[in-house]
Amino acid sequence: MSSRVNGIVKYLSWLLRLPDTLLGALDEFLDRLHRRGLGDAPAAILLLLPSVFLLSVFILLPMGATFYMSLFGGRHGMGSFVGAANYLDAFRSHDFRQSLLVTVYYVVGVVPVSLVLSFLIAYGLYRIDAFRGFLRTFYFLPYVTSAVAAALVWRSLFNPQSGILNLLLGYAGASPQQWLLEPRGVFHLISGGAVPASWGPSLALACIMVFDIWHGCGFMIVVFLAGLSGIPRELEEAARIDGAVGVRLLRHVMLPLLSPTLFFLLIVGVIKAFQAFNSFYALTHGGTMVETQNLILYIYAQFYQYGYWGYAAAVATLLMLAIVILTIIQWRILGRRVHYL
């Protein structure tokens, strides 16, 4: 019995030493290649291989398969080769243009408001010492909460018959609203009909925007707090000595030093907004109205509900190209305004 235990102990010890042994042998092998004049290229290639493999399997290959699928027509499968016909059909489709407009409304409405609101909250938390940890956790909780579960709660709040929002409007003497079922534009409702109903996002889309701003601000607040904490106190104190206080300190010192954080959140926020799905699907029962159907829901409906696999793949490819082009434009234009310490 003791010999068996000793054998198990030796085996476990060998397993624990195995990673160090392999890393040591690999390091020695790379040193020999470096001494032979190959430089750091073998080490760089070896370190990049896992990332390249994962990107190829989970991103590049699916993208290639999606583009290949977009070249074929038919329903519930890949039919005959149609070339660019699916792309031309997308540009001619009114539903595609409407879903693109809904997506643009959503991105323009959610990303700037989320950035501004998150920065103001983070800057307020940065300036206080009492309860900072508690408040940071409080603001971060919605982000770590399941989007579908939170959306179900918000859908009950927006319920036209039994929702608390219409109950509060009734107490205030205002007329109840249809909220997530209202296809008319929010500017039309606010202006009392002076603005055409088709202008701007619908009230239903505005409700989805409000939910996603509430749900996503926690992440931005934490990132902003990390960026503010990384600014050296000496720079802020020197600016105060030179007379920069209040808005001047915020505009000319804090925001330029926070530009890398702003740039990162803007890039991530735009990409995430173009890919929004959970909130739309959960709040609108799968996008039953065209006024709340963004591009992701449109792709989902074309692929799973109607079975136009090639057409859905073409729209998905167009969405991917739009995200890539917008990201490049942001890098080229806004990347030059980023100031690093």
Nearest partner of 188 among 170, 201, 171, judged by Cα: 201
**Residue spans of alpha helices (H) in 172-202:** 186-190
DSSP of 258-290, one letter per residue? THHHHHHHHHHHHHHHHT--HHHHHHHTTT-SG
Q: What is the maximal distance between C-alpha atoms in the chain? A: 90
What is the distance, to the nearest Å, from the Cα of residue 195 to the centroid of all Cα atoms in its chain?
32
**Residue spans of alpha helices (H) in 175-308:** 186-190, 203-229, 233-241, 247-249, 255-257, 259-274, 278-284, 295-300
Nearest partner of 211 among 323, 98, 106, 104, judged by Cα: 106
Domain spans, the chain: 2-69, 87-337
Nearest partner of 214 among 128, 152, 154, judged by Cα: 154
pTM: 0.86
Supply the pLDDT for residue 137: 87
Supply the pLDDT for residue 192: 86
Supply the pLDDT for residue 313: 95
What are the tokens at 81? 């080769």
Supply the pLDDT for residue 287: 62
Backbone angles phi, psi at 138, to 5 degrees: -60, -45
Supply the pLDDT for residue 2: 64
Nearest partner of 75 among 311, 260, 298, judged by Cα: 311
Supply the pLDDT for residue 285: 79
- 87-337 has which CATH code? 1.10.3720.10
Strand partners of residue 202? 185
pLDDT one digit per residue (tens) for the chain, 341 residues: 566 767 777 777 877 887 777 777 777 777 777 777 767 777 778 778 888 889 888 888 999 999 999 999 888 777 889 989 999 999 999 999 999 999 999 999 999 999 999 999 999 998 888 888 888 889 999 999 999 899 999 999 999 988 899 999 989 888 899 999 999 999 999 988 899 988 999 999 999 999 999 999 999 999 999 999 888 878 777 877 777 777 788 887 888 889 999 999 999 999 999 999 999 999 987 666 889 999 999 999 999 988 999 999 999 999 999 999 999 999 888 887 787 76
Residue 314 C-beta-side C-alpha neighbours within 13 Å = 23
Chain position carrying tokens 């809904």: 102
Question: Under 8 Å CB-to-CB from 281, ≥6 apart: which residues?
Answer: 287, 297, 300
Alpha-carbon distance 188 to 233, whole Å? Answer: 48
